[in-house]
């Protein structure tokens, strides 16, 4: 029964990590479903090992403490700087959060499992709802952008991305979509802009962009 309980802890950690990772995966962030599952499950595993197999007089929290600091190196890999815009901080924070959730699951017991479940809910709600609340608070406004161009003029996409980042836009995702012609390429972008940025200037830029056949702003 003890072994089944330990295995159950690992599966529970994987579920909690998967809940958070699912939200990151849907929005196409650098660290998605698999990464969050692995981080949460591995944190639980190392915590269990630290507690169950400590030497006499040893510190059961030593390995767990290293998880908290060590996860920073993994999170740093998701942070990208594009000009004055820094992307990936929220994903790095979500990795750090699921590591903490994994530690709580690894400690075990009703109280810590309840804390892990509540923390998972808080993290998921924060990630999934704050995106829509922030624009309403006046910080940024989210938009969708559809771009269509000839297959041999893909440099236009790079020029448009460079322009967007230059005016302070955050590009959350870039997804390729199927077109009716093999000679065309199309992309859907999810971006956010500071409220002070005028949409008219961006539309003028897109209308005059060489190599861009069609665009839709929503």
**Are residues 131 and 197 part of one domain?**
no
Residue 78: pLDDT over 70: no
Kindly state the average pLDDT of the residues 154-170.
Answer: 83
**Domain boundary residue among 100, 135, 170?**
135
At residue 19, the pLDDT reads 92
If one counts the domains in the chain, the total is 2
**Can you give the residue range of the structural domain that contains 197?**
140-217
Verdict on whether the full-model pTM lies above 0.85: no
**Are residues 145 and 130 part of one domain?**
no
**Are residues 150 and 122 part of one domain?**
no
At residue 83, the pLDDT reads 45
**Domain boundary residue among 118, 135, 152?**
135
Tens-digit pLDDT profile for residues 23-76? 877 766 667 788 889 999 999 999 888 887 776 666 766 777 778 777 766 666
At residue 168, the pLDDT reads 80
Tens-digit pLDDT profile for residues 79-112? 555 444 455 677 788 888 999 999 999 998 889 9
| Better-predicted residue by pLDDT, 63 or 9 | 9
**Are residues 213 and 149 part of one domain?**
yes
CB 176 within 8 A of CB 143: no
**Domain boundary residue among 101, 135, 169?**
135
**Are residues 162 and 66 part of one domain?**
no
Which of these, 94, 128, 96, lies nearest to 23 by C-alpha position?
128
Kindly state the average pLDDT of the residues 13-20.
Answer: 93
- CA distances (Å), origin 152, targets 130, 185, 189, 211, 214: 39, 9, 20, 9, 15
**Are residues 128 and 95 part of one domain?**
yes
Residue 42's CB is within 10 A of a number of other CB atoms, namely 19
**Are residues 25 and 114 part of one domain?**
yes
**Are residues 125 and 108 part of one domain?**
yes
**Are residues 128 and 145 part of one domain?**
no
**Are residues 115 and 156 part of one domain?**
no
**Are residues 175 and 72 part of one domain?**
no
**Are residues 150 and 123 part of one domain?**
no
Residue 150: pLDDT over 80: yes
């Amino acid at each position: 029964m003890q072994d089944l309980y330990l295995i159950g802890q690992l599966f529970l950690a994987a579920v909690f990590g998967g809940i958070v990772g699912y939200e990151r995966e849907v929005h196409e962030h650098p660290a998605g479903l698999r990464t969050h599952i692995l981080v949460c499950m591995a944190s639980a595993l190392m915590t269990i090992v630290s507690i169950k197999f400590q030497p006499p007089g040893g510190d059961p929290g030593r390995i767990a403490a290293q998880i908290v600091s060590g996860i920073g190196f993994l999170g740093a890999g998701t942070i990208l700087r594009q000009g004055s815009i820094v992307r990936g901080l929220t994903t790095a924070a979500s990795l750090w959060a699921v590591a903490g959730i994994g530690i709580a699951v690894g400690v075990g017991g009703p109280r810590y499992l309840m804390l892990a479940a509540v923390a998972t809910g808080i993290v998921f709600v924060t990630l999934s709802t704050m995106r829509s609340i922030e624009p309403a608070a006046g910080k940024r406004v989210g938009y969708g952008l559809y771009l269509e161009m000839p297959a041999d003029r893909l440099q236009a996409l790079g020029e448009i991305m460079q322009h967007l980042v230059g005016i302070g836009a955050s590009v959350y995702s870039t997804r390729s979509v199927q077109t009716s012609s093999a000679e065309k390429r199309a992309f859907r972008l999810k971006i956010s802009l500071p409220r002070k940025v005028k949409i008219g200037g961006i539309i003028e830029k897109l209308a005059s962009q060489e190599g861009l056949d069609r665009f839709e702003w929503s």
